[in-house]
Amino acid sequence: KDVIPPLEQLMVEKEGYLQKAKIADGGKKLRKNWTTSWIVLSSRKIEFYKESKQQALSNMKTGNKPESVDLCGAHIEWAKEKSSRKNVFQITTLSGNEFLLQSDIDFIILDWFHAIKNAIDRLPKD
């Protein structure tokens, strides 16, 4: 039976396209592979969709799930030294997953950094 999540968890705070590279999974380093991702931020989590929003919405009907990142206890920091690209920040989850996010457009990456940082700061740390 479907469980209905609290409304607060369903509220989208920000969404849009960024460049994304997952560089660790559970503390294990991964080969860096930048891809465009449709990113949806809500109060407790970020969802990464591999496809366009349009495609993601139609995939929802077939049960195709996005990668979901729990923001409780997560860290966010600028990560200049982790890439040759400009405007890169890193999110590290409690479970040891590491993601780099990037945009060439300064205000876009700044908006995302602050939106995610605010979401993390509002959450309990564990």
Among the listed residues 9, 12, 13, 32, the single contact to ligand I3P using CB under 6 A: 32
Contact call for residue 53 and ligand I3P (CB under 6 A) = no
Beta-sheet pairing, 88-92 with 45-49: unpaired
Q: Which residues, other chains included, contact 50 with Cβ-Cβ below 8 Å and sequence gap of 6+? A: 35, 37, 38, 66
Name which of 32 and 114 has its Cβ closer to ligand I3P. Answer: 32
Q: Is 31 in the site for ligand I3P (CB under 6 A)?
A: yes
Extract the tokens encoding 86.
Answer: 């400009």
- Whole-angstrom distance, CA of residue 20 vs CA of residue 103: 9
Q: Does 84 bind ligand I3P (CB under 6 A)?
A: yes
Among residues 14, 50, 53, 85, the one that binds ligand I3P under rule CB under 6 A: 85
To ligand I3P, the closest distance from the beta carbon of 79 in angstroms equals 10
Going from the C-alpha of 77 to that of each of 2, 45, 71, the distances in angstroms are 36, 17, 13
Q: Does 83 bind ligand I3P (CB under 6 A)?
A: yes
List residues binding ligand I3P (CB under 6 A): 31-32, 34, 83-85
